[in-house]
């Protein structure tokens, strides 16, 4: 086989507007609530910029609120379907720290913050990343109802399975604000203003 | 916030030995069985090279057997914990084809081949990639028993959920050979010759 045409690498990149959006944001945001406000803001801008779905995430030090990485859904921008916000934020943190285990001994405890319960892919991605806490704006049917995104087949006891692996789950941080983002996205979809990408639906 | 230290990209790359390993392999391998033999061979070499776990995958055109991409587990080599064989192979295919939907209309039907049932992360990654068929060497407890890798919480009806989304599942292609790879890896772990990475176990 020849390289190319076979690919030997692919890159997940943040969009250029992230730099502007974060220019005046401090490196440390001690309040979890304020950190989630940033996540919701990035999620809202992300779909409006045509970059991907209305999703954002960040990795922060739990004790201090220092921001280690940010991520947004970059599926449309990169053509990489695994480039959800969680995979992006976790990968950026691992690239920065040069460590595949974000929960390694002796390092500050890290948490992943996302603007909704992860889909089944990102459920696993969070589980294998070493993060010690998952903080989500919310969970429940609102996301799928509003956005039509398929979260995939999750076990009913998904949060308990995190806890059993030593990963705390914190829910309902700025939930209403997260739903407002999804609602705005839904309205744009109805207007035909954005591309909805999703799994194939068995057509 | 400053970039850097915040990362703006990360890259998933195949190891250099892949090029040598595939130098004499044809671009088209019509037999599914022979394609899985290649997957098992890459999986076996991958852990011996210290690149990551004993896992490999490829994306091929179902009708012709043309190889679109290959992937191996690159977690240790790249520090990116999502860099499992499936995510790697799917991303390489999407980078080559410049398409996040590997099942888009008018394109040849593609299949993902892997040397065992995907973990929960890659279950979702396969689901969102657009592939129309998943071909696995096997499923069942042997993988977790032999390698101690945690597959994560999967729903019991995992294959049915693929089929419901229009993704066929083909099982038990060179199953014994896949188990031999896991057994060799297990023996090396017992000898202390390799690093086992995994999710945190709640310690």
Q: pLDDT tens digit string along B138-151?
A: 999 999 899 888 89
Each residue of B94-104: pLDDT tens digit?
A: 999 999 999 99
Confidence at residue B189, expressed as pLDDT on a 0 to 100 scale: 86
**A102 to chain B: nearest residue by CA?**
B81
Q: Which residues of B touch A167 (CB under 8 A)?
A: 200
Q: How far apart are CA B114 and CA B28, in angstroms?
A: 17
The answer to whether B10 contacts A6, with C-beta atoms less than 8 Å apart, is no
Each residue of B121-169: pLDDT tens digit?
A: 999 999 999 999 999 999 999 998 998 888 999 999 999 999 999 999 9
Each residue of B173-182: pLDDT tens digit?
A: 999 999 999 9
Q: Which residues of A touch B197 (CB under 8 A)?
A: 100-101
- Beta strand ranges found along A14-126 (DSSP E): 56-61, 67-72, 110-114
Q: Which residues of B touch A8 (CB under 8 A)?
A: 13-14, 18-19, 92
Q: What is the pTM of this model?
A: 0.95
The answer to whether A200 contacts B69, with C-beta atoms less than 8 Å apart, is no
Each residue of B181-192: pLDDT tens digit?
A: 999 999 998 888
* Contact of B126 with B79, CB cutoff 8 Å: no
Confidence at residue B149, expressed as pLDDT on a 0 to 100 scale: 87
The answer to whether B199 contacts A127, with C-beta atoms less than 8 Å apart, is yes
Q: Which residues of B touch A7 (CB under 8 A)?
A: 69, 92-93, 95-96
Confidence at residue A202, expressed as pLDDT on a 0 to 100 scale: 37
A92, two tokens = 């950026």
User: Residue B201: which pLDDT band, with cuts at 50, 70 and 90?
Assistant: very low
Q: Which residues of B touch A107 (CB under 8 A)?
A: none
User: Residue A198: which pLDDT band, with cuts at 50, 70 and 90?
Assistant: low
Smallest CA–CA separation between B181 and chain A, in Å? 22
**Which residues, 6+ apart, have CB-to-CB distance to B3 below 8 Å?**
A19, A22
pLDDT at B199 over 60: no
Confidence at residue A84, expressed as pLDDT on a 0 to 100 scale: 98
Confidence at residue B193, expressed as pLDDT on a 0 to 100 scale: 74
Q: How far apart are CA B97 and CA B113, in angstroms?
A: 18
ipTM over 0.90 threshold: yes
What's the mean pLDDT in A110-123? 98
Instruction: Give the DSSP letter string of chain B.
Output: --TTTS--EEEEE--THHHHHHTTS-SB---HHHHHHHHHHHHHHHHHTTSSSS-EEEEEETTT-BEEEEEE--HHHH--TT--HHHHHHHHHHHHHT-S-TT-TTSPPEEEEESS---HHHHHHHHHHT-SEEEES--STHHHHHH--------TTHHHHHHHTT-EEE--SSHHHHHHHHHHHHHHHHTT-S---------
What's the mean pLDDT in A99-122? 96
Q: Which residue has the higher pLDDT, A175 or B194?
A: A175
Each residue of A30-60: pLDDT tens digit?
A: 999 999 999 999 999 999 998 889 999 999 9
- Tell me how many residue pairs between chain A and chain B have CB atoms under 8 A apart: 237
User: Residue B200: which pLDDT band, with cuts at 50, 70 and 90?
Assistant: very low
* Contact of A47 with A35, CB cutoff 8 Å: no
CB-nearest to B14 from A8, A11, A121 is A8
Confidence at residue B164, expressed as pLDDT on a 0 to 100 scale: 96
């Amino acid at each position: 086989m020849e390289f190319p045409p076979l690919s030997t690498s692919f890159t997940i990149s943040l969009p250029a507007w992230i730099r502007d959006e974060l220019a005046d944001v401090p490196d440390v945001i001690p309040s979890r609530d304020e950190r989630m406000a940033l996540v919701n803001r990035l999620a809202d801008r992300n779909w409006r910029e045509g970059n991907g779905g209305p999703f954002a995430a960040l990795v922060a030090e739990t004790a201090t609120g220092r921001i280690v990485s940010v991520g947004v859904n970059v599926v449309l921008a990169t053509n990489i379907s695994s480039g959800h916000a969680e995979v992006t934020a976790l990968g950026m943190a691992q690239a920065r720290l040069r460590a595949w285990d974000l929960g390694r001994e002796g390092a500050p405890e890290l948490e992943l913050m996302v603007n909704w319960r992860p889909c089944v892919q990102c459920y696993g991605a969070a589980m294998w990343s070493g993060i010690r806490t998952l903080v989500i704006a919310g969970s429940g049917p609102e996301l799928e109802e509003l956005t039509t995104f398929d979260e995939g087949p999750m076990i009913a006891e998904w949060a308990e399975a995190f806890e059993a692996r030593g990963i705390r789950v914190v829910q309902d941080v700025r939930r209403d604000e997260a739903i407002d983002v999804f609602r705005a996205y839904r309205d744009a979809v109805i207007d035909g203003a954005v591309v909805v990408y999703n799994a194939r639906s068995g057509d």
